[in-house]
Amino acid sequence: MKKHGILNSHISKILSDLGHTDYIVVADIGLPIPSGVPKIDLALTYGIPAFQQVVDLIADDMVIEKVILAEEIRTDNVPQANYMEKKFLGTPMEWCTHEKFKELSRHAKVIIRTGEATPYANCILQAGVHFG
């Protein structure tokens, strides 16, 4: 049994299998899951687990070279936008329309569905490389 880190075996395996530039999506309860993209559903009830909790845990265990967010989060969910900008300070961030975000999510290795029930609380985390 693991001593620390992510205990969810599905998430742990996905993170171990990621290659450079692969995408994973951390999503709220409303993001549509594209056909053919695996989903890891963590949602227990509204708000549990929270988007920020899941992002924090994944960020501790993943080399992230870029974060992609929907532009709409800036106006329709300012607290989550502020959290993401602070959390990934120094990491390149890309902003796109929510429609474009949904298109990009079709290329994800997995979508991790949280219990988050606030608008546009979704992000694409692009894997980087850890040498050394």
Identify the sign of the CA torsion 80, 83, 84, 85: positive
pLDDT tens per residue across span 48-63: 999 999 999 999 999 9
Instruction: Please indicate if the annotation marks 130 as binding a ligand.
Output: no
pLDDT at 5: 87
Instruction: Please indicate if the annotation marks 17 as binding a ligand.
Output: no
Q: pLDDT band for 2, please (50, 70, 90 cuts).
A: confident
Rounded to an integer, what distance in angstroms lies between the CA atom of residue 31 and that of residue 94? Answer: 18
Regarding beta strands 123-127 and 64-70, do their DSSP bridges make them parallel or antiparallel, or are they unpaired? antiparallel
pLDDT at 132: 60
> Is the confidence at residue 102, as pLDDT, over 70?
yes
Instruction: Please indicate if the annotation marks 120 as binding a ligand.
Output: yes
- Catalytic residue positions? 20
C-alpha gyration radius of the chain = 14
Q: pLDDT band for 1, please (50, 70, 90 cuts).
A: confident
Please state, rounded to an integer, the average pLDDT across all residues of the chain: 96
> Is the confidence at residue 4, as pLDDT, over 90?
no
Alpha carbon 64 to its chain centroid, in Å, reads 11
Q: Which domains are seen in the chain, by residue range?
A: 9-127 (3.40.1650.10)
Which tokens hold the place of 9?
């075996």
Instruction: Please indicate if the annotation marks 107 as binding a ligand.
Output: no
Name the strands in the sheet holding 64-70, side by side, starting at the edge strand that comes first in the sequence: 39-41, 111-113, 23-27, 123-127, 64-70, 93-96
